[in-house]
Chain A
Amino acid sequence: MALLALRNGLVTTGEVTSRTNSRYQAKADLAHVTINSDGGRALYQFRSCGFIMGSYNSGVERSVKVTLSASRAGLAYSTVKSLISSKNKSVEVDDLTVTAESVLEAISEFGPKILNLSLLDSNQVQGEHLATVLRTSFDWRDNVPGWNEALQVARQALLREGVDPEDALYGLV
């Protein structure tokens, strides 16, 4: 099913690293996969499939669980990354709410370290969405990699977009 997802473009890039000859074993390394928003459903289907396989071989089940956990973490991070991309031009309250909720869901499920804000390029991020990520993750700022660095990136992105950083980053600095 995951392979079907790959073929159907739900998973945009990825690599199936190994498949055994066993009838009941299939192993796909999805930990570094970039997944679009519909990919999550396919992965949940894949989890159900993995459960059935696991009933034959608990080792496989465990392996599938670990793989899927890493994949869901990748999905959560990819979602946030795509929301703060400079390609995302929508900055109404509704749009920023989606970003805030995505950040909170990611942290709630995987912890603050999932939000790696290191090495962001100010030309590649949308300033208001990044500011929303920073405000939303403020309570965890000491545990989010690159949080302080991202503050400077947000400032540069906001200036490029003609938005006053003192306004957008109110209270964060």
Chain B
Amino acid sequence: MGFSPLCDFNLPENGVAVALSHSPLGGGHLGIVFNETGGRLRLLELRWHRDLTVTDLPVNNCWIATSVDIPPVAAKQVVAKVRAISRKLPKINYGIDFIAARGSFQGTVYSAPKGSNGLTCSSFVLEVFRTAVVPMIQEETWQASEANVEWGNSVCDYLERTHVDEKHVQAVRSDVKGLRLIPYELAAAASLPKEQRPINYNGVQPLALQAKADLNRICKIPV
């Protein structure tokens, strides 16, 4: 399944989609699109440290979206669970270790597992789908990179600049080991037929590049 502009996106009542946009930090930004009661299309996204937001569509900035392939009856249950989380909007710290963050949600309650300092926009989406029992990726196959170390350090600098508690920034800095779930990667995984999920690191890389290309084609890169 490909990506299309969010502004033209049609989602059935029992549908769930993943939406991708540009991020000032690089690597894209991810959210979940779903229908609220009354057919209101909404976007749920972890924007930044303790800033989980749900917004009615349309939104001003440019996004692309892809439907998540879930069997239709199960999809209704998944929407129910996404709605429940979006109605609670728990406070979530920003943290980059997505392996330690596995199991961050117990129902709609966010509780950082031992060793986790929080979630990124993409690990938030991953955890919502995990708690709705929709597996996306094989986390254990993910590989570290130097580029991710650079990104991690720049994120910590930005956390500092935005006056996030110093202790928290130190904790996140200690997690900068080059392992990261990039929004393009999860967006690509979400776009796959259910039979091909959960996908491993190597399998998703070419698809992540395609997701990035789609975003750059449909949404102008901010200058």
Contact = CB atoms under 8 A, between A and B. Distances in A.
A138 B135 CA distance: 13
Contacts, number: 91
A128 B76 contact: yes
Contacts of A171: 74, 133-135
A79 B78 CA distance: 21
A97 interface: yes
Given A139-B103, A139-B131, A172-B133, A163 B73 contact: yes
Interface centre among B70, B71, B134 (most CB of A within 10 A): B71
A108 to B, nearest CB: 6
A93 B39 CA distance: 11
Interface stretch (B44-52, B93-101, B105-113, B208-216): B105-113
A136 B103 CA distance: 14
B37 A97 contact: yes
Contacts of B14: 93
Contacts of B81: 100, 135-136
A167 B72 contact: yes
Contacts of A168: 71, 73-74, 77
Contacts of A139: 103, 105-107, 131
Interface centre among A96, A140, A167 (most CB of B within 10 A): A96
B173 interface: no
B82 to A, nearest CB: 10
Interface of A: 91-94, 96-97, 99-101, 103-104, 107-108, 128, 131-132, 135-140, 163-164, 166-172
Interface of B: 13-14, 35, 37, 70-74, 76-81, 83-84, 87, 103, 105-109, 131-135, 194
